[in-house]
Structure 1
Amino acid sequence: MENLLTDRAFWVKYWESKTDLAVPIPDDYLFHSELASLIQSQNVQTAIELGGFPGYYAVFLKRYFNLDVTLLDYFIHEPVTRALLEANGLGVHDIAVIETDLFSYKPEKQYDLVLSCGLIEHFKDTADIIQRHIDFVRPGGSLMITLPNFRALNGWFQKRFDKENYDKHNIDCMDPQLLRQICERAGLDVVQSRYYGHFSLWLENEKEKPATVRLLKKTLWFAGKVFTKVLPFNSRALSPYIMLEARKPA
């Protein structure tokens, strides 16, 4: 596990600091357009969300596309996941759950869609963690990975005002060209690897930050939103996310 930038204690503390986790997932959830297009064009029937506790995207895929969905993470707190399912009109058996270490688990099946959102940046060896995603993709299936772009203004803000959280991320992997090269070397056909989103700014546990930091964040957030409303474009400097989509040859 030397490849990991976090440990179980970090994630226990992280999730225990969160409140109101059991919320209804809207149909316009982040990345909804790209997921809808992929599912429809590739006739996706089965999907797995890796590292996704409490399972927001697993719930999204089940609720709005009725996919056969699995959630895999090495930290699962069952009452939270159950409450999230109930908040979205789903039962405990509507999503399969696997609590395991991704580095010791051998996939028992492969899926039409393998998805992770905010996972690979917590590992030092980017090629290795992506290959572990690829192992779950069936021939002809799709891989979608999203991650934050801390090379942007948001990253500067994280580093300046939440260094502990910033240091839990592999900044080097936040490079669309690197992700493209890794997938191509692994034999995948890359559909897109790009910066995503016009602008956003956030802090973990923002309510605990000093008032001056919260005010600065609010000011920068507003200014950035206004600027990108007038000039909407994706860029390394401002986009808050990176998106990778690739296919495994049939």
Structure 2
Amino acid sequence: MSNTLTDRSFWSKYWESKKGLAFSVNRNYLFHQHLSAIVEKKQPAEAIELGGFPGYYAIFLKKHFHISSTLLDYFVHPGILQQVLQANGLTEGDIHVIEADLFNCSTPQQYDLVLSCGLIEHFNDTRDIIQRHVQFVKPGGTLFITLPNFRGVNGWFQKEFDLENYEKHNIASMDPDLLRSIAVELNLKDVKASYYGGFSVWLENKNSVSALTKLFMKSVWFAGKVITKTFRFESRALSPYIVLQATK
């Protein structure tokens, strides 16, 4: 899998170490405002989530909007996937699952809505990975990409307390201006790229850090939440996510 900062071994260990993966994806799931607006405006019939195992967004679209949904990922853990589907009242046949390398999909099927959440930052060549998304989008269809923002407070926590995970991310990709310029170069229309979310910090290795670190992180999290709830704004320093949306 060229151009990637991760491999199958990384993802196998990552997912098998996770707890509480099988939960019900509710109507207010993260980015629901964006996706609801896309569905209302564009009425997509078919959608694909790229690199999204265990498929929370494919499930969200199928469960709440009855959209024919596909999950494509380089690594799929069948046991975890089955548990997540069952937690949402779905069966294996309700979501089309493709376990494949995105770099080997030379003539992919095209969809009305193509999305990925937390994928493109794991690749060195940001333009290339976005272009591989675009090949799945039907003319007139929508591209929706989200990624974490590690160039602010949250990134500082990642770098200081979970360097191994931090180094699995292409920090340079976490730039709305860069993403916007790439989308324009790829001839996409109605391009929007911006920071999203008031404030949040997290650690993938939270259970392995010291009690003092957990207390420090909780204190910063609380202070940041108070500030951004009182004075809501998106920014590089505080927002936990970046969103790119465009039309082909």
Q: TM-score, normalised by structure 2?
A: 0.98
Q: Which structure 2 residue ranges, 5 or more long, are not aligned?
A: none
Distance across 1 between alignment mates of 2:161 and 2:220: 13
Q: Residue 23 of structure 2 aligns with which residue?
A: 23
Residue identity (%): 60
Distance across 1 between alignment mates of 2:108 and 2:162: 39
Which 10-residue stretch deviates more, 183-192 or 42-51? 183-192
Counterpart check, 1:193 vs 2:196: no
Task: Quote how far apart the aligned CAs of 1:191 are.
Answer: 3.4
RMSD across aligned positions (CA) = 0.9
Pick closer, same or farther for the CA change 1:124–1:190 going to 2, 3 Å. Answer: farther
Task: Quote how far apart the aligned CAs of 1:2 are.
Answer: 3.9
Distance across 2 between alignment mates of 1:174 and 1:192: 14
Q: Residue 56 of structure 2 aligns with which residue?
A: 56
Structure 2 counterpart SS, 1:243: strand
Q: Residue 146 of structure 1 aligns with which residue?
A: 146
CA contact (8 A) 1:123 1:129 kept: yes
Q: Residue 83 of structure 2 aligns with which residue?
A: 83
- Cα-to-partner distance string for 1:138-190 (whole Å, 9 max, x where unaligned): 00000000000000100011001111100000000100010011011111013
Q: Residue 93 of structure 2 aligns with which residue?
A: 93
Which 10-residue stretch deviates more, 118-127 or 228-237? 228-237
The number of equivalent residue pairs is 248
Q: Which structure 1 residue ranges, 5 or more long, are not aligned?
A: none
Q: Residue 219 of structure 2 aligns with which residue?
A: 219
Pick closer, same or farther for the CA change 1:150–1:68 going to 2, 3 Å. Answer: same
Q: TM-score, normalised by structure 1?
A: 0.97
Matched AA of 1:241: Y
Distance across 2 between alignment mates of 1:53 and 1:43: 24
Q: Residue 241 of structure 2 aligns with which residue?
A: 241
Task: Quote how far apart the aligned CAs of 1:107 are.
Answer: 4.1
Pick closer, same or farther for the CA change 1:59–1:107 going to 2, 3 Å. Answer: farther
Task: Quote how far apart the aligned CAs of 1:19 are.
Answer: 1.4
Q: Residue 102 of structure 1 aligns with which residue?
A: 102
Matched AA of 1:48: I
CA contact (8 A) 1:192 1:245 kept: yes
